[in-house]
Chains A and B, each alone.
Chain A
Amino acid sequence: MTVPPLRTRKLTIIAQDPSVKINGKILRTQVEIPAEELQSGPWGYRVHTVDFDSSTSTLYQPLKYPSLKDGVDGDPFKGARDAKLLSDPTFHAQNTYAIVMRILARFEFALGRRVSWHFDSHQIKVAPHAFADANAFYSERDQALLFGYFPGRKGMVYCCLSHDIVAHETTHALLDGLRERYTDPSSPEQAAFHEGFADIVALLSVFSLPGIVETLIDISAPRRDRSRIDKKLLTIKELRKSMLLGLAEEMGQELPAIRGNVLRRSVELVPSRDYIKRTEFEEPHRRGEILVAAVINAFLSVWVKRLEALGQVAPGALDRGRVVEEGASVADYLLTMVIRALDYAPPVNLEFCDFLSAILTSDREINPNDSKYQFRDTLRKSFISYGIKPRSPGTPSDPGIWLGPEGAISNDRIHFESLQRDPDEVFRFIWDNRGAFKFFENAYSRVLSVRPCLRIGPDGFALRETVAEYMQILEMQAGELKKQKNLGITVPDDMPDDQEIRITGGGTLIFDEYGKLKFHIENRLDDGDRQSQRLEYLWGYGYYRNPASFRNFASLHRQRATSLTSFSREDW
């Protein structure tokens, strides 16, 4: 008789960061991540931790993990003292590994398939103590996540011990793997999306840990009664003002130096439709805050709505445990929603309005009945209150969702089996339907990815879908572009005629379980208005002078910390 191998394992991590404490002790938790036999590092099938400090050229030796066979627990830091967690670099390595794996698993759960890194390796390298710097970033070129450290007021501050920082950087890497063109220079919103989305995943990942929500509640409602909480403290206004801001102050008191206090800034950004139009919010990191604020606002609204449905345990009081549970589960559901939406987002030139339609559509596919907690309606209203309207008009019953494809789409010469995994087969589908898709004829097209995925549908049955992305590229000089009247793209006045320009477009194709095209979500190459705006932005902000620097997370994060900009319309 053999014991079936465990599918998951638990590892101890610091719940948020060492400054969030409960009864004077660092708040920690055990997270459940995919089980695997680890090599020293931890070095697993997707993550390779290499603890090298480039500032002092020190390579720390890793911990050897016991085999999981025969029911071994495999968490060497379970119950370890706080001092041990802080002073042992091998715990730092475990903390980073476990959070990266948790976020990866979260993405794979939401999307129903493996998620690859963008670079040519199966394992991302993680350096928990990469340099003495107030910075942390994902570097595609180096296939790595790099976390800095710096002396703080009360001792050394380690970015790798901060849940939201590790989750943020991991999300950059995963997003880059899923949508490789989102780091391309495009509109200010595409650049902002990478930052904003990474912040949203980081915050929701933290909120989905019940221990954190409990602490959040303790901050604003001290425990007079262990089991109850006053209902008056559970309004949107109160939760925003006292709980979230309270947590923002508590969270990594010296970590805001890394990139500002994300939570505080998003909570302080009260709903207004004006931000999106202000020049100040053309900066990618500022613009990203609008997206974060819209999601956090929706999180609070749904949480409060769910609490309204809870029965009172005493006049004006709710059960503290249930309040915590509801908060964590709302965060968890929203996290799944925003990740799943990536499959329904266009592969190039993403704007916030596209992302909103993507969330609404992808959630409706899995959960058609949203009447109970109204996640979709709340998110839509919250986005609109920040000036972000859905890209698609939707239907009267489901405003904002993507609509099905128009025209006579042909599958006549397509092999269904190949269509689920073969880029050449998908390309043939695109090529055969170029007339129906009304493509601009002289553009170069290529398929970026084909991903079969499996989700559980509303009826409990497995839902097989295939998600494919393609992009189109047109390269010509500014002078030639001016003559292409059918594209309707306006070239900036002061752009020289011999300036080489690349215009891109593309779409996401979602095929149903029979290979029929269900959605065609596109940002068209010949969308004259949007292409003109992008060209104007890129020209104004100096992309054509120094294209390489537009893809650098290290400098983007530093700019965020210092509020400096590298690119300005005013430069020569």
Chain B
Amino acid sequence: MATSKPKSLTIRSYQVGFGDCFLLTFHYPGTNKDRHVLVDFGSTGQPKGVPKDLMLKVAEDIKKQCNGKLHAVVATHRHKDHISGFATNKKGTASGDVIASCKPDVVLQPWTEHPKARVDATQAPNGMTTNKAFVAALGNMHAISAAILTEAQRRKSLSKTLKREITFLGDDNLSNASAVENLMQMGKKNFYLNFGSKSGLERVLPGVKTTVLGPPTLKQSSEIKIQRSKDEDEFWMFQALANQFVLKPEARIFRRAKTYATSPAYTRWFLKRMSSIRGEQLLGIVRALDKVMNNTSLILLFEVNGKKLLFPGDAQIENWSYALSKPEIRRLLSRVNVYKVGHHGSRNATPKTLWNGFKNRSKKKTDKTRLKSFMSTMTGKHGKSQSSTEVPRKTLVTALETESELFTTQTIKGKGNISLVCEFKL
């Protein structure tokens, strides 16, 4: 067992298209003393030219690089682009089976994934503890996504762009039972974390201090904001019921009422407008729930020999707010050396307060302490530049390129090449 501190670190950013998959290998002095931490493994869209079984190839490479033994698996949140690779199949040959065969000692997930927090998603949040109601709301969001995906496919009047965006977000927010199950079972021990809790990596990564900076619990959030109301959880429950209702055969609310077989001419302009409003509504709902899911992301800060590595998943400002409200945390974050770019470089997952606080940002390429940033992304998959929602966001990429050394999975080229490897001293 490694007893001293790691001397260096290798970060492997895998090509998973639009998704995250990072293998962190901490090199301890001596032979065969490496420790491997897999942070996320999911994808929701892959670039042209990659092998069809890309995820399996990535899993096999992870197994090879860690010599068949993972010490920890981190699943920052339950979005498909972060956990789909953990899914298994009956034959035991899927990418998730390969990862499970690496027998991780610990699996880290946010508190919202705790099996005890789970409830029947259709159950009303009334009378439940707030945490359970919130987790129930997350369950409802999966149900909404599934229903909206079906409705979007059925609707002929939807524009191509609208359909594409709804499908992308809806798909990412589907529940992934197989991956969730696998994450629950593959590790010797599971930890469900929130701001300030022990990470569970203390024994696994000696000499590495891991601080959990997010997500906050609902109680913690209420310290900086008026307490979450039950109305919000109810909204998601009723929305789920509404979206599911529409899909039922004979979903009409007034079955006995007389209807028009052909709409009268004077109503047609308005009916056309209303059909387009429906499409916009569907997109608005999936966008909103995508944001809630992102904000359940685990935010981890690793510290070794004064070097700091920040892995925030897809956390957005609502998640970050609690950590950033604390001056001591802002001080700690100001010295970050390695930053995994939040949410594939989207406009709202690298809070400006966080970025502006990084003291190691530097325009000088020769600067030895210059910030290193790692981004896993795929251009053209999500958002539109006309509405400044393109991912990765142009202005953020410019800042990352000019003020840090940027490693992006978009530079992975060449046949058979599926990862970007970066090793540095700690």
Which residue numbers of A lie inside 8 Å of B, CB to CB?
Answer: 50, 52-61, 87-90, 125, 127, 129-135, 139, 141-142, 144, 146, 148-153, 156-157, 254, 256-258, 260-261, 280, 542, 545-546, 548-549, 554-555, 558-559, 561-565, 568-572
Query: How far in angstroms is the closest Cβ of chain A from B219?
Result: 16
CB interface residues, B 271-325, toward A, < 8 Å: 271, 273-275, 277-278, 280-281, 284-285, 288, 291-292, 317-318, 320
In the complex, the answer to whether B228 meets A558 with C-beta atoms within 8 Å is: no
Q: Which of A58, A257, A548, A569 has the most CB of B within 10 A?
A: A257
In the complex, the answer to whether A56 meets B274 with C-beta atoms within 8 Å is: no
CB interface residues, B 234-274, toward A, < 8 Å: 234-239, 241-243, 245-246, 251-254, 256-260, 263, 267, 270-271, 273-274
Residues of chain B within 8 A (CB-CB) of A257 are 231, 234-235, 237-239
CA A54 – CA B273 in complex, angstroms?
A: 10
Query: Contact partner of B277 among A130, A132, A157, A260, CB < 8 A?
Result: A130
Residues of chain A within 8 A (CB-CB) of B284 are 554-555, 558
Residues of chain A within 8 A (CB-CB) of B317 are 568, 570-571
Query: How far in angstroms is the closest Cβ of chain A from B150?
Result: 12
- Would A558 and B274 be within 8 Å (CB), given that A58-B252, A150-B242, A254-B238 are in contact? no
In the complex, the answer to whether A562 meets B259 with C-beta atoms within 8 Å is: no
At the interface, is chain B mostly helix, strand, loop or mixed? helix
Query: How far in angstroms is the closest Cβ of chain A from B161?
Result: 15
In the complex, the answer to whether B388 meets A157 with C-beta atoms within 8 Å is: no
Q: How many residues of B contact A (CB 8 A)?
A: 61
Residues of chain A within 8 A (CB-CB) of B229 are 256, 260-261, 563
Which residue numbers of B lie inside 8 Å of A, CB to CB?
Answer: 124, 151, 225-226, 228-229, 231-232, 234-239, 241-243, 245-246, 251-254, 256-260, 263, 267, 270-271, 273-275, 277-278, 280-281, 284-285, 288, 291-292, 317-318, 320, 347-348, 350-354, 387-389, 393, 395-396, 399
Query: Contact partner of A56 among B246, B256, B257, B320, CB < 8 A?
Result: B246
In the complex, the answer to whether B318 meets A129 with C-beta atoms within 8 Å is: no
Residues of chain B within 8 A (CB-CB) of A131 are 274, 277-278, 281
In the complex, the answer to whether B239 meets A150 with C-beta atoms within 8 Å is: yes
Query: Contact partner of A156 among B253, B285, B395, B399, CB < 8 A?
Result: B253
In the complex, the answer to whether B277 meets A146 with C-beta atoms within 8 Å is: yes
Query: How far in angstroms is the closest Cβ of chain B from A499?
Result: 13
- Would A52 and B238 be within 8 Å (CB), given that A558-B284, A564-B288 are in contact? no
In the complex, the answer to whether B281 meets A135 with C-beta atoms within 8 Å is: yes
CA A411 – CA B417 in complex, angstroms?
A: 81
Query: How far in angstroms is the closest Cβ of chain A from B242?
Result: 4
Closest A residue to B224 using CB positions: A280
Residues of chain A within 8 A (CB-CB) of B256 are 87
- Would A127 and B274 be within 8 Å (CB), given that A134-B235, A257-B235 are in contact? yes
Query: How far in angstroms is the closest Cβ of chain B from A485?
Result: 29
- Would A142 and B232 be within 8 Å (CB), given that A149-B242, A150-B239, A554-B280 are in contact? no
In the complex, the answer to whether B288 meets A53 with C-beta atoms within 8 Å is: no
Query: How far in angstroms is the closest Cβ of chain B from A349?
Result: 25
Residues of chain B within 8 A (CB-CB) of A50 are 267, 270-271
Query: How far in angstroms is the closest Cβ of chain B from A49?
Result: 11
What are some 14 contacts across the A-B interface (CB < 8 A)? A50-B271, A54-B274, A55-B251, A57-B275, A61-B259, A125-B270, A142-B273, A142-B277, A254-B238, A545-B347, A558-B288, A570-B317, A571-B347, A572-B396
CA A570 – CA B225 in complex, angstroms?
A: 17
Residues of chain A within 8 A (CB-CB) of B278 are 54-55, 131
Residues of chain B within 8 A (CB-CB) of A156 are 253
- Would A256 and B277 be within 8 Å (CB), given that A150-B239, A569-B352 are in contact? no
CA A339 – CA B254 in complex, angstroms?
A: 37
Closest A residue to B345 using CB positions: A572
CA A387 – CA B266 in complex, angstroms?
A: 50
Residues of chain B within 8 A (CB-CB) of A59 are 259-260, 263, 267, 271
In the complex, the answer to whether A52 meets B234 with C-beta atoms within 8 Å is: no
CA A55 – CA B251 in complex, angstroms?
A: 9
In the complex, the answer to whether A570 meets B238 with C-beta atoms within 8 Å is: no
15 further interface pairs, Cβ-Cβ under 8 Å (given A260-B231, A562-B292):
A54-B274, A54-B277, A57-B275, A59-B260, A131-B278, A131-B281, A133-B281, A151-B238, A151-B245, A564-B288, A569-B352, A570-B354, A572-B347, A572-B352, A572-B393
Query: How far in angstroms is the closest Cβ of chain A from B410?
Result: 18
Residues of chain B within 8 A (CB-CB) of A258 are 235
CA A257 – CA B240 in complex, angstroms?
A: 12
In the complex, the answer to whether B124 meets A153 with C-beta atoms within 8 Å is: yes
Top-8 shortest CB links A-B:
A150-B242, A570-B351, A61-B258, A545-B388, A132-B242, A54-B278, A572-B347, A54-B274
In the complex, the answer to whether B232 meets A562 with C-beta atoms within 8 Å is: yes
Query: Contact partner of B251 among A56, A127, A146, CB < 8 A?
Result: A56
In the complex, the answer to whether A546 meets B388 with C-beta atoms within 8 Å is: yes
CA A87 – CA B252 in complex, angstroms?
A: 12
Q: Which of B231, B241, B256, B317 has the most CB of A within 10 A?
A: B231
In the complex, the answer to whether B242 meets A134 with C-beta atoms within 8 Å is: yes
Residues of chain B within 8 A (CB-CB) of A256 are 229, 231, 234
CA A2 – CA B318 in complex, angstroms?
A: 68
Q: Which of A60, A130, A148, A562 has the most CB of B within 10 A?
A: A562
In the complex, the answer to whether A61 meets B257 with C-beta atoms within 8 Å is: yes
CA A571 – CA B226 in complex, angstroms?
A: 22
CA A146 – CA B271 in complex, angstroms?
A: 12
In the complex, the answer to whether B258 meets A144 with C-beta atoms within 8 Å is: no
- Would A150 and B271 be within 8 Å (CB), given that A55-B278, A132-B246, A563-B228 are in contact? no
Residues of chain B within 8 A (CB-CB) of A546 are 387-389
Residues of chain A within 8 A (CB-CB) of B348 are 568, 570-572
Residues of chain A within 8 A (CB-CB) of B243 are 132
Query: How far in angstroms is the closest Cβ of chain A from B37?
Result: 28
Closest A residue to B348 using CB positions: A571
In the complex, the answer to whether B395 meets A55 with C-beta atoms within 8 Å is: no
Q: Which of B226, B288, B389 has the most CB of A within 10 A?
A: B226
Query: How far in angstroms is the closest Cβ of chain A from B338?
Result: 20
Query: How far in angstroms is the closest Cβ of chain B from A175?
Result: 21
In the complex, the answer to whether A89 meets B239 with C-beta atoms within 8 Å is: no
CA A130 – CA B393 in complex, angstroms?
A: 35
In the complex, the answer to whether A564 meets B318 with C-beta atoms within 8 Å is: yes
Query: How far in angstroms is the closest Cβ of chain B from A419?
Result: 38
Query: How far in angstroms is the closest Cβ of chain B from A450?
Result: 31
In the complex, the answer to whether A52 meets B270 with C-beta atoms within 8 Å is: yes
Query: How far in angstroms is the closest Cβ of chain B from A124?
Result: 11
Q: Which of A134, A146, A153, A558 has the most CB of B within 10 A?
A: A134
In the complex, the answer to whether A554 meets B281 with C-beta atoms within 8 Å is: yes
In the complex, the answer to whether A157 meets B238 with C-beta atoms within 8 Å is: yes
In the complex, the answer to whether A52 meets B231 with C-beta atoms within 8 Å is: no
In the complex, the answer to whether A87 meets B232 with C-beta atoms within 8 Å is: no
Residues of chain B within 8 A (CB-CB) of A125 are 270
Residues of chain B within 8 A (CB-CB) of A132 are 242-243, 245-246, 251
Residues of chain B within 8 A (CB-CB) of A549 are 387
In the complex, the answer to whether A570 meets B352 with C-beta atoms within 8 Å is: yes
In the complex, the answer to whether A261 meets B231 with C-beta atoms within 8 Å is: yes
CA A152 – CA B239 in complex, angstroms?
A: 10
Residues of chain B within 8 A (CB-CB) of A558 are 284-285, 288
Query: How far in angstroms is the closest Cβ of chain B from A143?
Result: 8
In the complex, the answer to whether A54 meets B353 with C-beta atoms within 8 Å is: no
CA A119 – CA B251 in complex, angstroms?
A: 33
CA A127 – CA B229 in complex, angstroms?
A: 29
- Would A151 and B242 be within 8 Å (CB), given that A61-B260, A125-B270, A144-B273 are in contact? yes
Query: How far in angstroms is the closest Cβ of chain B from A325?
Result: 33
Query: How far in angstroms is the closest Cβ of chain B from A277?
Result: 15
Residues of chain A within 8 A (CB-CB) of B280 are 554
Residues of chain B within 8 A (CB-CB) of A572 are 347-348, 350, 352, 393, 395-396, 399
Residues of chain A within 8 A (CB-CB) of B395 are 572
Closest A residue to B347 using CB positions: A572
Residues of chain A within 8 A (CB-CB) of B252 are 53, 56, 58
CA A129 – CA B260 in complex, angstroms?
A: 15
